[in-house]
Structure 1
Amino acid sequence: MTATQQSVTFKNAYILGISFISALGGYLFGFDFAVIAGALPFLRPEFELNAWWEGFLTGSLALGCIVGCLIAGGFSERYGRKPGLMLAAFIFAVSSLGMAFSSGLTLFVVMRFAAGIGVGMASMLSPLYIAEVSPANIRGRNVAINQLTIVVGILTTNLVNYTLADNGPDAWRWMFGLGALPATLFFLGVIWLPESPRWLLKAGKAEEAKKVLNNIGSEVFVEDTCRDIQQSLRGTTKQSFKAVFEKGVRPAVIVGITLAVFQQLCGINVVFNYTSTIFESVGADLDRQLFETVAIGLVNLVFTLIAMWQVDRLGRRPLMLIGSLGLSIVYIVLAYLLQSQAAPSLVSAFVLIAIAMYATSLAPVTWVLISEIFPNRIRGLASSVAIVSLWIAYFILVFTFPVLAEVLGTYGPFYLYAGICLLGFLFVKRKVKETKGQTLEQLEQQLIEH
């Protein structure tokens, strides 16, 4: 901040409260992300899925997410972050019930696509909102709360799936329909949230922005933040997507897009979405397959908590470097184990090591960086471009895995993912700068000077 920074105090309980409520959007992400892993063994015979349709049904969520991100970018710039979060929750609640009551494959895919719109909006707006209401010294931890709710959503959904698995061939309907409950809670929680003070100042609502900032920190914090934001917005006009690719901000946008794509093409979401396929290939029965989804969820949660503890201490860049290189090595071992038909317990050990690597690095830190590195005037639009890229990469990953596994064997794609992780390591080492402990406005000034 400024020379007065020592006088700045924060209302941490309030900041944490609004961050957790906003991060419930991540829970919806985690729910729909995980529910497919438990439902696929039931959906395959229900809809007579071949490899192509299995990939498309799984990936249809990502296609909806792309649309959701595009809607969220413009919607949140025009109407605010809060209305965008409420719309995301409503769409998700309706689509969850739609999937549960689907009478055929076409309707199910349409409803999963619609769920993706809600997930896509929340995946962009939740971390963006948290970054805009959090002081610099705890911003990384708070944005990582979004990743925490994602993994809680994954774990809770895996536990529910495991419990419901013995309820007959229609168990999948309950698995999807229960998504309406967290969506409704999220909608009710967002009603209580204040609007983002950075959006309010950009919209010319200075007094409202000051009221929100007064609830976050001391008078010195309010004055410093208002001044810094207004200075960063000076001389700017209404932005279009064209502004995202202007020369001055292009380096940050390229880094954001590349990190988003890398987070998906690193391959870990194959493990999340196709757990049953991976363990079936080494002889595990259905009960073991669903149990592995629960173990994955537990490890994911524990190591996400470790990431939240370290992201503002160790920093963003070291975590990304350790995670990307570690994943590359673990994937090579995992591919060899799958190829040699190793015991399920041994495969499980290296799957869980890969999850731990991802949960402490690429999973939370990518979202933190995307929420930080863009200038105030284009943050909403630039974030939507980066996250659209993320969902395109996710669709490519989950759509191609069943086909690649059919052609190359289940182990084959993991050699490819190991190579991608090595390339990601080299990119982070060369292009990603540390952002911990700096305000969004300070990061913007660095971009301008660069």
Structure 2
Amino acid sequence: MNNEQKRISLLTITLVASLGGFLFGFDMAVISGVLPLVQKQFTLSAAQEGWFVSSALVGCIIGVAFSGELSDRLGRKKPLILTAILFIISALGCAIMPDLTGVIGSRLIGGIGIGIASNVVPLYISEIAPSAIRGRLVTYYQFALTFGILVAYLSNAALLNGVSIQELSTSGLTNIFNAEVWRGMLGLGVIPALLFFFGLLMIPESPRWLIQKGRTAEGVSIINRITNQPKAEIEAGLSKQNIKNEAGSYKELFAPGVRKALLIGILLPLFSQFSGINAIIYYGPTILGNAGISLSNSLISQIIFGLANMLFTLVAIWKVDSWGRRPLYLFGTAGATITLILTGICFYYEATTSIWLLICVLGFLACFAFSIGPLKFVVASEIFPSAIRGRALAISIMVMWVADTIVGQITPILLKQIGSAGTFWFFAFFCLVAFVSVYKLLPETKGKSLEQIENDWKEKGDNDQAFVH
């Protein structure tokens, strides 16, 4: 292969893997348009409504709990194929299952797929990517996730407004797209799921997983096919790292030096959920309406915020490998802290009709989308030892899902007890803590191979200056 063919091959592999992120975003966001229709059709109680929404989240926790063990033992590709199959089953089940129990069961299955994908996709991309552009390629996963959210909002709006219903439906699908439009919303996920499945059949296994399992020649061959890294340089790096073929154990995470990697891997997803992104999304329609923007319905406001979130993620793709992870994260957390404080001030002084409130909210979305949101995946996929990378990343992603659950539970309580202003200041405090933590703990990993990062941890131990930055 020449260099251009290698570049196209690498990009194609990344885009196929990133479909897992698209399905993640689509499946989690589509429920916003589905819930009111399901609630009305089945006359759901509060408990049933809560279970309908949270069933996918329960599935996520189950999926990520098993994903690390699966990916370290079976490789990265096989769990991704399983994920695609689960997405297909979930989408079809939601479209055709006659009763609510069957639909919820299908949502649970889809959640398991999301849980596996949220761990294995960024892990896989980080292991195929050249060090010079690894951050950018892993960020494609977050971009695909935000694109999936936007597509879910758009498809919901289109189906609710009857756009091209006659074209979409046939005699066998009329019920899905007309009588029970919510089934069409959920069922559309089968299209990207099928693309994901067939795409995965054509991409290679992670070369670094193959090398870690002793299949060095096979792994080096894949790296040579998709990157310009010289064979001698690859083999020299592997020799320096002295990879062992045995399976890793969790105790490696508590070895000197690696303990800091574990701490970083836990804190970044924790800070991501406690940044206030859910509160912003929750207040989205109200904020836009009070700022003077005419909205026909809440789905339009979701589209606006979804589009902003996706577009600002492009900044991370553009700058993560040139500026580096550390500066981008510091700038983003500082900006998020300031914009959340200002948002709280707007609520405190009841300036909710001011354009400044909209500016503050969009400013926060920008800071989240180019730093806090994507960088948790980029950094966590880089910093753990190769022998246990899958299981270690699973711990990191598990923290994200648990934190997401906690934030979802406490946000209504905060809004009631300390008001809107106090709630935004609460999240601003966590963004400030994130800034300080990143400043003290986060090393710069741009431009370094995964093997070099691992060696740096081992050589420097618990030294806070483990990397030169």
Query: 1:22/1:344 Cα in 2 relative to 1: closer, same or farther (>3 Å)?
Result: farther
Q: Give the Cα–Cα distance (whole angstroms) in 1 for the partners of residues 290 and 47 of structure 2.
A: 18
| SS of alignment partner, residue 372 of structure 1 | coil
Greater radius of gyration (CA)? 2
2:363 to 348, 353, 356: 353
Aligned residues, how many?
442
Q: Give the Cα–Cα distance (whole angstroms) in 1 for the partners of residues 355 and 94 of structure 2.
A: 34
Q: Give the Cα–Cα distance (whole angstroms) in 2 for the partners of residues 313 and 99 of structure 1.
A: 43
Contact 2:269/2:376 (8 A) holds in 1 = yes
Contact 1:26/1:122 (8 A) holds in 2 = yes
TM-score normalised to structure 2 length = 0.85
For 1:265, give the aligned amino acid. F
RMSD: 2.9
Tell me which residue corresponds to 1:117. 112
Tell me which residue corresponds to 1:33. 28
Shift of 1:64: 1.7
Q: Give the Cα–Cα distance (whole angstroms) in 1 for the partners of residues 103 and 353 of structure 2.
A: 36
Contact 1:37/1:272 (8 A) holds in 2 = no
| SS of alignment partner, residue 321 of structure 2 | coil
1:301 to 307, 310, 322: 310
Q: Give the Cα–Cα distance (whole angstroms) in 2 for the partners of residues 270 and 393 of structure 1.
A: 14
Asked if residue 387 in structure 1 is aligned to residue 382 in structure 2, the reply is no
Structure 1: unaligned runs, 5 residues or longer: 1-7
Q: Give the Cα–Cα distance (whole angstroms) in 2 for the partners of residues 235 and 278 of structure 1.
A: 55
Query: 1:405/1:48 Cα in 2 relative to 1: closer, same or farther (>3 Å)?
Result: farther
Tell me which residue corresponds to 1:446. 456
| SS of alignment partner, residue 402 of structure 2 | helix
Shift of 1:171: 3.2
Shift of 1:55: 5.6
For 2:190, give the aligned amino acid. A
Query: 1:329/1:257 Cα in 2 relative to 1: closer, same or farther (>3 Å)?
Result: same
Tell me which residue corresponds to 1:97. 92
Q: Give the Cα–Cα distance (whole angstroms) in 2 for the partners of residues 199 and 171 of structure 1.
A: 43
Q: Give the Cα–Cα distance (whole angstroms) in 2 for the partners of residues 402 and 105 of structure 1.
A: 27
For 1:421, give the aligned amino acid. C
Tell me which residue corresponds to 1:185. 195
Structure 2: unaligned runs, 5 residues or longer: 163-177, 461-469
Matches within 5 A, 1:120-135: 120-135=115-130
For 2:93, give the aligned amino acid. G
Matches within 5 A, 1:43-442: 43-46=38-41, 57-101=52-96, 106-167=101-162, 170-218=180-228, 221-235=230-244, 237-272=246-281, 275=284, 287-338=296-347, 340=350, 342-343=352-353, 347-405=357-415, 409=419, 412-442=422-452
Over residues 280-303 of structure 1, what are the superposed CA-to-partner deviations in whole Å (9 max), with x where a residue is unaligned? 899999734211111112212221
Over residues 56-105 of structure 1, what are the superposed CA-to-partner deviations in whole Å (9 max), with x where a residue is unaligned? 54444333222212222111111111111110111112112333445565
Contact 2:213/2:246 (8 A) holds in 1 = no
| SS of alignment partner, residue 247 of structure 2 | coil
Q: Once structures 1 and 2 are overlaid, which stretch shifts more, 104-113 or 32-41?
A: 104-113
Contact 1:143/1:368 (8 A) holds in 2 = yes
Contact 1:34/1:272 (8 A) holds in 2 = no
Shift of 1:395: 1.7
| Higher RCO (CA 8 Å, separation ≥ 6 residues) | 1
Query: 1:346/1:92 Cα in 2 relative to 1: closer, same or farther (>3 Å)?
Result: farther
For 1:171, give the aligned amino acid. V
Shift of 1:337: 3.8
Shift of 1:307: 1.2
Shift of 1:115: 1.4
Over residues 91-149 of structure 1, what are the superposed CA-to-partner deviations in whole Å (9 max), with x where a residue is unaligned? 11211233344556554444333212111111111111111111111111111111111
Over residues 271-328 of structure 1, what are the superposed CA-to-partner deviations in whole Å (9 max), with x where a residue is unaligned? 3467457778999997342111111122122211111110011111111112112112
Q: Give the Cα–Cα distance (whole angstroms) in 1 for the partners of residues 40 and 158 of structure 2.
A: 20
Q: Give the Cα–Cα distance (whole angstroms) in 1 for the partners of residues 448 and 219 of structure 2.
A: 21
Over residues 362-417 of structure 1, what are the superposed CA-to-partner deviations in whole Å (9 max), with x where a residue is unaligned? 11111110111111121111111111111111122224334544555555532321
Shift of 1:202: 1.5
Q: Once structures 1 and 2 are overlaid, which stretch shifts more, 93-102 or 289-298?
A: 93-102
